[in-house]
Structure 1
Amino acid sequence: CLRRSSGSRRLVMSEFVLQATARGVPVHHVERRELDALCRGQVHQGVCLEATPLRFKSLEEAEKTDLGDEGRPNQQLIWLVLEQIQDPMNLGALLRSAYFLGVDRVVTSQRNSCPLTPTVSKASSGAMEVFDVYSTDDLRSFLKAKTAEGWEIVGTVGKPEDAEDVPVISCLEFRWNKPVVIVIGSEGDGLSLETQLLCHRMLAIPPGRALHPGIESLNVSVATGILLHSICSQKLRHGD
C-alpha cells in the first residue's frame, strides 16, 4: 500500500510501483489513515508492505556453505553468536553492524532471545531482509562442536574482573589466524558462566578515561560494533 504523494516524493513512490509491479506485487494507493491503521500507528513513511514473517535458518544450512573443497572451514570466517539478546532494537542494530562489517554468520540462542520481528527489521535498516540469521537450541553443544572443528571461541566482557577463569585481553590486542566465533551476552547479565567457560579468550573494550561508577559500560549493540570493527578490519587487511 502506498500513500498518494506529490512533488519529489512522487518520483520515489513511482519507483516503488515499478519495482513492485516487476515482481508481481499488487499495489494499492490509499489514504494516510489506512496506512496508520495497518502499521498500528508506527512510522511508515508512506509505504506499507504485507509480507510473510522471516524465520531463523538452520545451522545445517550454514555448515554446508562455509566448508572449503576439502571439508575444512575457511580460515577467514567470522561468526557472531548472540546469547539471550532480548531487545528487538538491539538485535536489529547488531544485525546491521554485522552485515556492514563483514560478519559471515549470525547465530542466536533460542532460549530467552528475541524473534525476528518487524521491529528488528526496521532497526536493522533492512539488513535482516538480506542477511540470513541462524538459531540453535543448544548453544553449549554448538560451541563445543566449533572448538572441535578448529575454531577459536572468543567471549566478551564489560570489565576484565567480570570474567571467570578465562584470560582477558583488550580487543585492540586480539589477533586471529583461524576461523573465529565471537560470543556476545545479554544486555543486562552478559555471558552466562557456562558459556564463558567454553571460551578460549575474553575480549574487553578499553575505556578512554576513568569512568564514574554506574556508567562503566556500553550498550550491547554499540560495544559489539566496536569489537567487530577491530576484528573484521584484520580480515580486510588479510586480503578478503
Structure 2
Amino acid sequence: MKHAEAVQSEKILVGRLPTKQQPSSGARRPVTAELALQAAARGVPVQRVRRRELDALCRGRVHQGVCLEATPLRFKSLEEAEKPEVGDEERPKPRLVWLVLEQIQDPMNLGALLRSAYFLGVDRVVTSQRNSCPLTPTVSKASSGVMEVFDVYSTDDLRSFLKAKSAEGWEVVGTVSKPEDVENVPVISCLEFQWNKPVILVIGSEGDGLSLETQLLCHRMLTIPPGRALHPGIESLNVSVATGILLHSICSQKLRHGD
C-alpha cells in the first residue's frame, strides 16, 4: 500500500475455500492470516468471500486467494517532484540517473522497466503522456510491486523537458540498436560510456525506438555490442532487457563512486 491517505478506501478480500479443500490449503493459511493482521494494523478492512466471488473480482486472473481493492495509482506530474534542498539549486548533483520513457506501450515492458530501474538505483522515472501505457494492475504485477513504492512521473511535453534539463547541465543519452541509423549524434558502446554529470537515459518505443526529434536532443547515443554475428531479423533486444543492461552499465559507475 503506497499512499497512507488512501487507506480508508482500501479493502483486502480473502478467498474462503470449500471445506473439502481446507487440508491442502494449510500452507497458505499462515500467509493469509499474516496479511489479515498486517491489514488490521493499518486500518484496512478484511472481508472473507467465497472463492468464486474472488475469481469474478479478479476477472479470472491468478490471485492466490487474496485480493486488494484499492484506488488506482496515477502518474505524478513533474511539478509534484520534490524541490531541491537549500544549497542544491545552483548545481545538480553529479551522480543522479533518471530514466525517461518515450511511448512505451506494453504494460509488461513498463512493469519490467520499473522493476529494473528501482533495483539498479535509478533516481526517477519519467514517461511521455502521449501513446504511453498507463499505470495498470498488469504493470504493477509485472513490476513485482515496485509501482506501489516507486513514484513514476509523466510529462506532456517530453522535448521541452529534455531541453530544460540539458540547459541545467544534465547529459541526455539516447539508445539505438543500429549505429548506422543515427545521424548527427555520436554513437558509442555502453561499455565505453563515462559520465561525470547528472544523466538522463532516454528509451524509445518497442517498435520504432526513439523519434528523430528526440534523438537530436541527445548528446550521445548508446548501443549494446552483440556477442556474436547476428542473423538478419534478430538484431535487437526486448526493450526492458536492453534497458536493464544499459542501466547496469551506467549505475555501476554510480556505485563505484560511492553515491
TM-score by length of 1: 0.97
- Aligned AA (2:142): A
- Aligned AA (1:146): K
CA distance in 1, matches of 2:127, 2:213: 16
Aligned residues: 239
What residue is the counterpart of 1:69 in the other structure? 87
What residue is the counterpart of 2:183 in the other structure? 164
Instruction: Give 1:61 deviation, angstroms.
Output: 2.7
Which runs of no fewer than 5 residues in structure 1 stay unpaired?
none
Any idea what the Cα deviations from partners look like across 1:9-30, whole Å, max 9, x if unmatched? 1111111001111111111112
Q: Is structure 2 residue 101 aligned with structure 1 residue 101? A: no
Instruction: Give the SS at the match of 1:49.
Output: strand
Distance 1:63-1:10 versus aligned 2 partners, 3 A rule: closer
Further displaced range: 136-145 or 156-165: 156-165
Which runs of no fewer than 5 residues in structure 2 stay unpaired?
1-12, 17-21
What residue is the counterpart of 1:175 in the other structure? 194
CA distance in 2, matches of 1:224, 1:200: 18
Instruction: Give 1:88 deviation, angstroms.
Output: 0.5
CA distance in 1, matches of 2:117, 2:93: 18
Q: Is structure 2 residue 149 aligned with structure 1 residue 137? A: no
What residue is the counterpart of 1:3 in the other structure? 15
- Aligned AA (2:15): R
Alignment equivalent of 1:14, drawn from 33, 38, 44: 33
Q: CA RMSD in A?
A: 1.1
Any idea what the Cα deviations from partners look like across 1:173-221, whole Å, max 9, x if unmatched? 0010000000000000000000000000000000000000001000000
CA distance in 2, matches of 1:118, 1:41: 14
Instruction: Give 1:35 deviation, angstroms.
Output: 1.0
Alignment equivalent of 1:200, drawn from 206, 209, 219: 219
Instruction: Give the SS at the match of 2:108.
Output: helix
Instruction: Give 1:31 deviation, angstroms.
Output: 2.1
Q: Is the 8 A contact 1:164 1:193 kept in 2?
A: no
What residue is the counterpart of 1:237 in the other structure? 256
What percentage of residue pairs aligned between the two structures are identical? 85
Further displaced range: 161-170 or 84-93: 161-170
What residue is the counterpart of 1:228 in the other structure? 247
- Aligned AA (1:14): A
CA distance in 1, matches of 2:92, 2:258: 17
CA distance in 2, matches of 1:89, 1:163: 28
Please identify the structure whose Cα radius of gyration is greater: 2
Distance 1:68-1:230 versus aligned 2 partners, 3 A rule: farther
- Aligned AA (2:26): G
Instruction: Give 1:74 deviation, angstroms.
Output: 1.4
Instruction: Give the SS at the match of 2:28.
Output: helix
Instruction: Give the SS at the match of 1:92.
Output: helix
CA distance in 1, matches of 2:121, 2:131: 26
